[in-house]
Amino acid sequence: MSNAKNKKLYSIIVVGLMAALVYVGNYFQIKIPNGALVTRIHLGNSMCLLAGLLFGRLKGGLSSGIGAALFDLFDPVYIVSAPYTFFSKFAMGFTAGHIRKHSKNEKSAVIAAAIVGQLVYIVLYLLKTFLGQIMLGEPASVALEMTGVNAITSSINGVLACVIAVPLYFALSAALKKTGIGELITEKEEKKGWLNPLTALLTAFAVVVTAIYSIDLANTKKAEKKQAEKEQAYIQQIDDLKYQLEYLYEQMGVDIPEIPSEEAAE
């Protein structure tokens, strides 16, 4: 890599390529219904970890967040959670990249980075699941039950991601170090260089948009729940009146008159 300009170009290419791999990896999935939620077993997390392991905190975090958020944006089931997905997946790639780049023993660092990165994501994902259900008006017991089911699939995803990402890292890093992007893999990142206006802006955007969507979704859900309760109350009142009329006719010994059909009335 001859100069800083080429390095920036390679960095953009790497982020775009890894984001695409994260996006595609999410399509290799098995969807598992969980009440009002849909949880998945998929290969997207393995690509998030691989991005962080190969290219470090910022490039790995951006690749993970962008690829996963794009998948959510194109799926109606997950579109509302896209901002939080960006944040949580960014955190996974960022954590894996930080541990990998700032450890001396490569082999142990790669394994530890993959495990810790995945654990960070699982905690953030389960926290979102629990708090999301509470905001939608579900009791804590129901929220915990749904979170528990998601914890099982998240654990499977986590093990699968580590098993895939770690061997892939060793296979790809050896080959990629011989190419023009090799310096991006071997370079040591500055310990404080990741905290810049771009990452701060992206994090703030993800948090704010997620909060807005969550509040709007919670209000919509509560309104729908109130409307359903009103409709149920009306149905119950109609059933009670019908029962009272039937009882009254029975006590009076009168047959319930038949309502003439529209055809008979004509």
Q: What's the CATH number where 69 sits?
A: 1.10.1760.20
- Mean pLDDT is lowest, of 30-39, 132-141, 162-171, 179-188, for 30-39
Answer yes or no: is 231 within a domain: no
Tell me the three state secondary structure of residue 20. Answer: helix
Q: In this predicted structure, what is the pLDDT of residue 219? A: 66
Helix residue ranges, H only, the chain: 4-25, 44-55, 57-73, 82-101, 106-135, 140-176, 182-186, 197-252, 262-265
Residue 137, pLDDT above cutoff 60: yes
Question: How far is 20 from 146, CA to CA, in rounded Å?
Answer: 30
Average pLDDT of the chain, as a whole number: 81
56: phi > 0 → left, psi -120 to 50 → alpha, else beta; which? Answer: left
Answer yes or no: is 249 within a domain: no
Q: In this predicted structure, what is the pLDDT of residue 166? A: 95
Answer yes or no: is 240 within a domain: no
Name the burial class of residue 99, with classes exposed (0-12), middle (13-18) and buried (19+) by CB atoms within 10 angstroms of its CB. buried
Q: What is the mean pLDDT of residues 226-248?
A: 81
Share of the chain above pLDDT 90, in %: 30
User: Which is more confidently placed, 243 or 23?
Assistant: 23
Answer yes or no: is 95 within a domain: yes
pLDDT band at 120 (very low <50, low <70, confident <90, very high): very high
User: Which is more confidently placed, 81 or 202?
Assistant: 81
Answer yes or no: is 256 within a domain: no
Answer yes or no: is 85 within a domain: yes
Residue 60, pLDDT above cutoff 90: yes
Total domains, the chain: 1
Residue 2, pLDDT above cutoff 70: no
Strand pairing category for 37-42 and 29-34: antiparallel
Host domain of residue 101:
4-195
pLDDT band at 205 (very low <50, low <70, confident <90, very high): low
Residue 194, pLDDT above cutoff 60: no
Instruction: Quick: pLDDT tens for 145-161.
Output: 888 888 888 898 899 99
Supply the angle between the helices 82-101 and 106-135 in degrees, to the nearest 10: 160
Residue tagged 């986590």 (tokens): 158
Q: Report yes or no: 65 and 21 within 8 Å, Cβ to Cβ.
A: no
| Closest among 28, 53, 75, 79 to 209, alpha carbons compared | 79
Answer yes or no: is 123 within a domain: yes
Name the burial class of residue 265, with classes exposed (0-12), middle (13-18) and buried (19+) by CB atoms within 10 angstroms of its CB. exposed
Q: In this predicted structure, what is the pLDDT of residue 97? A: 92
Answer yes or no: is 55 within a domain: yes
Q: Report yes or no: 121 and 22 within 8 Å, Cβ to Cβ.
A: no
